[in-house]
Amino acid sequence: MCSRVVQRRNRATATAHVEHLEHIEHLEHIFFPVDGFFLISELTGSAREIVRAAQERIDRRLASTSIPHITITGSSGVGPIPLNVPIQQMEEAFAPIAQTTAPITARLGAPMRFMQTDIIVLPLDPHGPLRTLHERIAMSGLPFQPARFPFTPHATLSFYVTLDAAQRRELLSVRVDEPVIIDRLQCYKTIDPLPAKKVLELHLTGGTRNEE
């Protein structure tokens, strides 16, 4: 009798393990980076320092492979630009947008978990001038890979790690009180698992600064 109980427990444990692995594989398929060109705006000042410090404490792989930034295109709204698109073509498409877009003042909200995963992000308001910038880029005529989610601008605190309860509490307590200034666009070439490489930078030089 005892051996049957043990066998049932072993089968239940094995089944739970398989289901856990399948869940991880599903999350990796959804969330892990897609190779391509991403458009971001690098954080500066205290926001950059706060995000970098949190990444270095909790997710060193993220800290070592990317710069603290706000994602403009690549992970939501539209996917990355394919790697076969020439850099000169991207510059020709994005330069007029940068020249006619004023710098944007925005605020990073309180951290949130993304869809009950261990991905913790600082969200921004997805409306207003930031959405306008995103949509102008998306309609620039360049090809983009499909996006899995609607436009949700954010700065990422953790991505690769499995968080324990203390780490999750620590990241969810992070606050960036100072507003952030989005005054440049950087294009990064991303080929996982290599560090992202900046291939293009453009300054937003149009008009008067926009407030989110």
Regarding whether 104 and 20 lie in a shared domain, the answer is: no
Judged against a pLDDT cut of 80, whether residue 20 lies above it is answered with: no
CATH number at residue 149: 3.90.1140.10
Q: Which two tokens stand for residue 110?
A: 């309180």
Residue 33 confidence (pLDDT): 57
Mean pLDDT of all residues in 134-145: 96
Q: Per the structure, how many domains does the chain have? A: 2
Point out the least confidently predicted range of 101-105, 127-131, 165-169, 193-197.
193-197
Regarding whether 153 and 56 lie in a shared domain, the answer is: yes
**For the chain, how big is the Rg over CA atoms in Å?**
20
Residue 117 confidence (pLDDT): 85
Query: What percentage of residues in the chain have a pLDDT greater than 90?
Result: 71
Residue 25 confidence (pLDDT): 41
In whole angstroms, what separates CA 125 from the centre of its chain? 15
- Across all residues in the chain, what is the average pLDDT? 86
Residue 22 confidence (pLDDT): 39
Regarding whether 199 and 94 lie in a shared domain, the answer is: yes
Judged against a pLDDT cut of 90, whether residue 17 lies above it is answered with: no
Regarding whether 155 and 141 lie in a shared domain, the answer is: yes
Regarding whether 64 and 138 lie in a shared domain, the answer is: yes
Residue 89 confidence (pLDDT): 98
Residue 209 confidence (pLDDT): 63
Judged against a pLDDT cut of 50, whether residue 127 lies above it is answered with: yes
Regarding whether 67 and 27 lie in a shared domain, the answer is: no
- Residues with Cβ within 8 Å of 118's Cβ and at least 6 positions away in sequence, in order, are 158, 161, 162, 163, 168
Q: Which residues, in sequence order, are bridge partners of residue 81?
A: 37
Q: Which amino acid is present at 56?
A: E
Residue (of 172, 179, 134, 170) closest to 152 by Cα position = 134
Regarding whether 94 and 116 lie in a shared domain, the answer is: yes
The answer to whether 204 and 101 are in contact (CB under 8 A) is: yes
Regarding whether 62 and 25 lie in a shared domain, the answer is: no
Query: What percentage of residues in the chain have a pLDDT greater than 70?
Result: 82
Q: Which amino acid is present at 35?
A: D
Judged against a pLDDT cut of 80, whether residue 28 lies above it is answered with: no
Confidence of residue 2 (pLDDT cuts 50, 70, 90): low
CB atoms near residue 87 (< 10 Å): 12
Whether omega for the bond prior to residue 193 falls within 30 degrees of 0, making it cis, is: yes
Residue (of 80, 46, 94, 75) closest to 201 by Cα position = 94
Q: What residue numbers bound the domain in which 1 lies?
A: 1-31
Judged against a pLDDT cut of 50, whether residue 24 lies above it is answered with: no
Judged against a pLDDT cut of 90, whether residue 183 lies above it is answered with: yes
Regarding whether 104 and 14 lie in a shared domain, the answer is: no
